[in-house]
Amino acid sequence: MNQAQHGAPSQTTADAVTVTGVDKTFDTRSGQVHALQGINLTVKAGEFVSLIGPSGCGKSTLMRIIADLDQPTAGSVAVFGKSAGQARLDQDYGIAFQQAGLLPWRTVAANVGLPLELHGVGSAARAARVAELLSMVGLTEFADRYPDQLSGGMQQRVAIARSLAESPSLLLMDEPFGALDEMTRERMQTELVRICAETQAAVVFVTHSIPEAVYLSDRVVVMSARPGRIQEIVPMRLDGERTESLREDTRYFEMITAVREALHGGNPGGGIATGGLATGSVAASAPVRGAETR
Partner 1 sequence: MSTAAVSRRGTAPGRKAMSARTESWLRIIAPVAVGAIVLGGWQFLVTVVGVSEYLLPSPASIATQFVEYLPSILSAMYITGMNALIGLLVGSILGIGLAALAANSRLVDGMSAPIVASIAVIPIVALAPVLNSMFGADSQFSRQAIAALATFVPVFINTLRGFRQTRAVHRDLMRVYAASPGQVLRTVTLPTAKPFIFTGIRIASSLAVISALVAEYFGGPRGGLGGLISTSAASSAYARAWAYVVASIVLGLLFYVATLALERLANRRGGGS
Instruction: Please choose, from the candidates 147, 168, 144, 174, the residue with its C-alpha nearest in 3D space to the C-alpha of residue 69.
Output: 174
Residue choice 82, 88, 229, 251 for contact with partner 1 (CB under 8 A): 88
Strand 74-79 versus strand 219-224 pairing type = unpaired
Cα distances (Å, whole numbers) of residue 228 to 10, 19, 23, 42, 72: 22, 14, 9, 17, 13
- Segment contacting partner 1 by CB under 8 A, of 8-16, 42-50, 138-146, 243-251: 138-146
Could you tell me where the DSSP H helices lie in 149-266? 152-163, 182-199, 210-216, 250-263
Q: Does 76 bind partner 1 (CB under 8 A)?
A: no
Q: Does 83 bind partner 1 (CB under 8 A)?
A: no
Which CB, 5 or 167, lies closer to partner 1?
Answer: 167
Q: Does 107 bind partner 1 (CB under 8 A)?
A: yes
Residue choice 54, 115, 211, 271 for contact with partner 1 (CB under 8 A): 115
Angle subtended by helix axes 152-163 and 123-136, to nearest 10: 130
User: One symbol per residue from 174 to 193: x for binding partner 1 (CB under 8 A), - otherwise; what is it?
Assistant: ----------x---------
Q: What is the DSSP letter of 8?
A: P
Q: Does 82 bind partner 1 (CB under 8 A)?
A: no
Residue 292, SS3? helix
Residue choice 97, 205, 215, 252 for contact with partner 1 (CB under 8 A): 97
Residues engaged in binding partner 1 (CB under 8 A)? 67-69, 88-89, 91, 95, 97, 99, 101, 103-105, 107, 114-115, 118-119, 142, 145-146, 148-151, 153-154, 184
